[in-house]
Amino acid sequence: MKIVSLLPSATEIVCSLGLERSLVAVTHECDFPVSISHLPAITASRISHETMTSKEIDHAVRSQLDGHGSIYDLDTKLLEELKPDLILTQELCDVCAVSYKQVESAAKIFVSDSTVVSLEPNTISDIFDSMIAVGVLADAEENALRIVDEFRRRIETIREKTSSISERPGVFMLEWLEPPFAPGHWVPEQVEIAGGRCLLGRAGQRSVTTTYDAISESNPDVMVLVPCGYYITDTLRQLENTRFPADWREIPAIKNDEVWAVDATSYFSRPGPRVVEGTEILAKIFHPDLFGTPSEVEAVRVSANLIRFS
């Protein structure tokens, strides 16, 4: 079977199931595992995340999508050459990947024999179901079930440890810096399982734009910076160009040095196997007495001098 992945999370799922050799093309954002780096990129972005501020990126994305365009290009010539048996894509978010309509249309024209499958996870359970579904499609169901069982066991281990905690910190997961976004999909679940109270976000629902005032009023004890698609270094770089309201100095998380930057791309933005590890990292941030402190690779405490105010 030849598989084309149009999602970084799908690429991670395929590889976690031992199907890496079936991959023939991936997206320009696929960077894990590193062993897939030799594969051709079948997509490209029209927006430069490296040179633009979070505000500029948000404006560019909205402008493009409001005009019913796309922020991604799909290499249809390469698609036709590869003739994949299976194309993994999504309909969940036009900001995350090539739109489903664009993929479906290209498949009909260039590779009519291909099976196009849309993965639509909104919760952690949905992510596990997606892994099993890919396993079934690629004749690796038994392996998928075994791996998912192990992931569920790890989640339950965290849940059991935090179940008796009476003092759960109020946690705000900042999914974009400017404008600010409140968390959605599986992220609120990650917070709750890890022993926190997720503020301004609902499990299984979309991430939504919020306001700095609403965040301040939610009075978070802990703030975790998880801008969609950003690594820790990206977030720290973007903080240099971000100005938060002056009254944010009174937020408990900022006053008590409980602002953290984590690898959003790997553990929170992508609905793939590593959301389990992301949940384990949050547990270390919220309850180091139970889980140990996170390593610098897992999470970085954002010092007060890196947070700038208007």
pLDDT digits (tens), the chain, 310 positions = 999 999 999 999 999 999 999 999 999 999 999 999 999 999 988 776 666 777 777 666 666 555 445 678 889 999 999 999 999 988 765 555 566 666 667 666 667 788 888 888 999 999 999 999 999 999 999 999 999 999 999 999 999 999 999 899 999 999 999 999 999 999 999 999 999 999 999 999 999 999 999 999 999 999 999 999 899 999 999 999 999 999 999 999 999 999 999 999 999 999 999 999 999 999 999 999 999 999 999 999 999 889 999 8
Domain membership of residue 93 as a residue range: 3-120
Residue 44 lies in a domain: yes
Looking at the structure, do residues 92 and 218 belong to the same domain, yes or no? no
> Tell me, what's the pLDDT at 65?
54
State pTM to two decimals: 0.91
How many other CB atoms sit within 10 Å of the CB of residue 246?
A: 9
> Tell me, what's the pLDDT at 55?
77
User: Measured between alpha carbons, how far is 214 from 203 in angstroms, rounded to an integer?
Assistant: 18
Residue 146 lies in a domain: no
| Domain total in the chain | 2
Looking at the structure, do residues 207 and 103 belong to the same domain, yes or no? no
What H or E segment, with its residue span, contains residue 174? Answer: strand 170-174
Edge to edge, what strands does the sheet with 86-89 contain?
Answer: 23-25, 3-5, 86-89, 115-118
Q: CA torsion sign, 274 to 279 to 283 to 285?
A: positive
Looking at the structure, do residues 297 and 173 belong to the same domain, yes or no? yes
Give the residue carrying structure tokens 């770089």: 237
Omega cis (within 30) before 33: yes
Burial of 1 (0-12, 13-18, 19+ CB in 10 A): middle
> Tell me, what's the pLDDT at 100?
61
Helix axes 275-286, 141-162, angle to 10 degrees: 10
Looking at the structure, do residues 116 and 181 belong to the same domain, yes or no? no
